[in-house]
A = this chain, B = another copy of it.
Amino acid sequence: MEGAAVDHLAHERIRAQFDVEAMKVAWAGSKHAVDVADRMARLVASDPVFKKDNRMMLGRKELFKNTLRKAAHAWRRINELCLTEEEASMLRIFVDEPGYVDLHWGMFVPAIKGQGTDEQQKKWLPLAYKMQIIGCYAQTELGHGSNVQGLETTATFDPKTDEFIIHSPTLTSSKWWPGGLGKISTHAVVYARLITDGKDHGINGFIVQLRSLDDHSPLPGIVVGDIGTKFGNGAYNTMDNGVLRFDHVRIPRNQMLMRVSQVTREGKFVQSDVPRQLLYGTMVYVRQTIVSDASKALSRAVCIAVRYSAVRRQFGSQDGCPETQVIDYKTQQSRLFPLLASAYAFRFVGEWLKWLYRDVTERLQANDFSTLPEAHACTAGLKSLTTSVTADGIEECRKLCGGHGYLCSSGLPELFAVYVPACTYEGDNVVLLLQVARFLMKTVSQLGSGKKPVGTTAYMGSVQHLMQSKCDVLTAEDWLKPSIILEAFEARAIRLAVNCAKNISKFPSQEEGFSELSADLLEVAIAHCQLIIVSKFIDKVKEDIQGHGVKELLQILCNVYALSLVHKHLGDFISTGYITPKQGALANEQLRFLYAQVRPNAVALVDAFNYTDHYLGSILGRYDGNVYPKLYEEAWKDPLNDTVVPDGYHEYVRPLLKQKFTVSRM
């Protein structure tokens, strides 16, 4: 992407067997998407305010202040250039630094949109759109995360004043973690137990002002602050994740978000006729963006590791020739190429999820809730699977870069530290998989009832065939057929599910069985989710795809993705009796051939992500491959190199060398 003078990877780029520009379109979704991303990425990369390579050297306060500066500058640029919403959101992505604005736009605004009445939206949204108020999303508490129904904060209606009293009755009820809360937000959507007339009506959202709009000081009854340093040097330390306690803070009744339930002037709790399920639509939306972010994060890590693996040489030098590029080692390929394939797989399943969200939204508007449970399970499962694989995959890419991957200038430590919370937020990954498993067990139990499984569980309709069929692979090439791959994943998924359902039924109660076998249930859910991703990748490759060699390469990546999973989960496939050990060995053999086909295209396949060096933020992943001189140059910028003799030498090293405080003994 850069117009570099030298290109140490030119010899790699020449080898590519496909049209990289066309692959960029396939990756981004459309020519338009490539163009917008391109323009926004360059806009950010060329603006000195958005510089980010000095992040590691700043203390927390400086780091935070600099993020405020970037946020203000981004807002100014967005307005000056009259950017569209699409462009603005792209620009924020390329600024690539967590900050309070993420929560304002990503959680506060959607919460009001989704849970506020028309009147409430009319009042609050214009203020939020202009950023005359800045909001966050205060749900999680010190003692309560996954179990939202266990939140302790109370909102008690006082009919005398027509107000709610927001209160933190215990230490563990302190709000804890909300981004943007610690130092910046003026407002929050606070989730609390709604109490009227002594009765607890469960959790509801309330708009609460936290800080004065004049001098930013916390309002009376409110204690608010930052929760402290988090994983990584920069990472989420640019964000003011906060703690918040209420001491009987009063808000007007109309600041309860009242779209699905209301409290009347008299203090009566009323359910509206808007179905609660509408709220799940938002969850589908948020999780779909998380899947899309997973492909982004994983592809960045893979881009760095692939380029550096092509630059780095080690061993194998003969007769004065250069050593072997580490990307040529099969051990490197067998770890790296499945991740490259996963990045593509997650990208396409993410695109499909966007469609699913639109589909669900349209159906909800038509009062059709029939696909919601399936869509909900599907997005929950994909959120869990893609974020777990991405977190581990980034760290694997770091290890694939050897020692130099441990330097912050490689970009990988930061990428890891900033990414891993995705495994926990918006639903802990294990809790989500159990939800998926519960849904699958229910689907299995209804198979005989005539109720046809829909969407991504449609394959379960063929239960009889799938429980009895055998894989008919005879040669390694047979494993290239999409129909064979698909049936293998379907058979594995349904057999694991049916077995597990049988085992659960042996327990005195279903709940006991579910709880005792929950570790097995996780595996059932994973098998189902992997099937979804494989099948959506297969569907993608069937589409009409433009550009020389593009479809062929995507087919190869699809096969790499699927067969590497067959190898990794061989125990599942064999023990459920669908494939034989011999067929498993053939899959592994085919995988090796596929790696050889990926190899000459590897660098071009990561070029197709179209990331600027600024966005990648990695010396090892530089487009021009000019790694060593730049690593060397970068080292000297460390504060420790400000002086030749380090601070502390005279007090703590010289006396030691000069035997000034040793007792002669050793």
Q: Could you list which residues of chain A lie within 8 angstroms of chain B, going by C-beta atoms?
A: 56-57, 59-61, 64-65, 68-69, 71-72, 75-76, 79-80, 82, 129-134, 140, 142-147, 150, 171-172, 174, 177, 182-184, 186, 213, 215-218, 225-233, 236, 240, 243, 313-315, 317, 323, 329-331, 333-334, 392, 395, 398-399, 402-403, 406-409, 413, 417, 420-421, 423-425, 428-430, 434, 515-520, 522, 567, 569-577, 581, 584-585, 588, 592, 628-629, 631-632, 634-642, 644-649, 651-657, 659, 661-666
Write out the residue numbers on chain B whose beta carbons fall within 8 Å of the beta carbon of A575.
570, 574, 581, 584-585
A-B contact pairs, 29 of them (CB 8 A): A61-B639, A65-B646, A68-B649, A71-B652, A72-B653, A76-B662, A131-B657, A132-B659, A134-B656, A174-B632, A216-B649, A225-B635, A227-B407, A231-B407, A231-B413, A231-B417, A233-B233, A240-B640, A330-B516, A330-B517, A330-B518, A331-B430, A395-B395, A395-B420, A402-B428, A403-B421, A569-B571, A571-B571, A577-B581
Tell me the complex Cα distance, A452–B517, Å.
Answer: 45
Q: Is the CB of B64 within 8 A of A130?
A: no
A372 shortest CB reach to chain B, Å:
23
Closest to A425 in B: B403
List chain B residues, Cβ under 8 A from A398: 420
Q: How far is the CB of A63 from chain B (nearest CB, A)?
A: 9
Bound Cα distance from A529 to B430, whole angstroms: 30
**Contact with A147, one of B146, B323, B584 (Cβ below 8 angstroms):** B323
Measured CB to CB, the closest approach of chain B to A359, in angstroms, equals 29
- Give the interface centre of A132, A640, A661 by most chain B CB atoms within 10 Å: A640
Q: Is the Cβ of A639 less than 8 Å from the Cβ of B142?
A: no
A193 to B: closest C-beta gap in Å:
13
Question: CB distance B408 to A230 under 8 Å?
Answer: yes
B408 and A228: CB pair below 8 A?
yes
Known contacts A65-B647, A240-B646; is-contact A171 B217 (Cβ 8 Å): no
* New A-B contacts (4) at CB < 8 Å, excluding given A71-B652, A76-B661, A398-B420: A60-B638, A68-B652, A69-B652, A231-B413
Contacts of A134 in B (CB 8 A): 653, 656-657
A140-B403, A571-B571 known; A130-B662 Cβ under 8 A = yes
A146 to B312, CA, bound (A): 12
The answer to whether A423 touches B399, judged by C-beta atoms less than 8 angstroms apart, is yes
- Enumerate chain B residues within 8 angstroms of A634, measured Cβ to Cβ: 228
User: In the complex, what distance in Å separates the CA atom of A184 from the CA atom of B666?
Assistant: 22
Q: Is A522 touching B314 in the complex (CB atoms < 8 A)?
A: no
Shortest CB-to-CB span from A602 to chain B, Å, is 16
**Inter-chain contact A171/B628, CB cutoff 8 Å:** yes
Contact A638 B229 (CB under 8 A): yes
Q: Which of B142, B182, B184 contacts A628 (CB 8 A)?
A: B142
Which residues of the partner chain B approach A642 to less than 8 Å between Cβ atoms?
Answer: 61
Q: Which of A569, A571, A585, A631 has the most CB of B within 10 A?
A: A571
Judging by beta carbons under 8 Å apart, are B61 and A640 in contact?
yes
Min CB distance A662 to B, Å, is: 5
Q: Using Cβ atoms and an 8 Å threshold, which residues of chain B touch A585? A: 575
Contact A648 B69 (CB under 8 A): yes
Whether B229 pairs with A408 at a CB distance below 8 angstroms is yes
A222 to chain B, nearest CB (A): 11
| 8 nearest A-B pairs in the assembled complex, by CB-CB distance | A570-B571, A65-B648, A575-B581, A231-B413, A334-B519, A571-B571, A68-B652, A72-B652
A142 contacts which chain B residues (CB < 8 A)? 628, 631-632
Contact B639 A59 (CB under 8 A): yes
CA distance A174 to B631 in the complex (A): 11
List of B residues within 8 angstroms of A231 by Cβ: 233, 406-408, 413, 417
Residue of B nearest to A80 (CB): B663
Tell whether, in the assembled complex, residue B656 and residue A145 are in contact, meaning their CB atoms are under 8 Å apart. no
Q: Are A57 and B60 in contact, with the CB atoms below 8 A?
A: yes
Residues of B within 8 A of A654 (CB): 216
Q: Tell me, in angstroms, the Cα distance from A465 to B592 when the chains sit together.
A: 32
Given A315-B150, A575-B584, A61 contacting B647 (CB threshold 8 A): yes
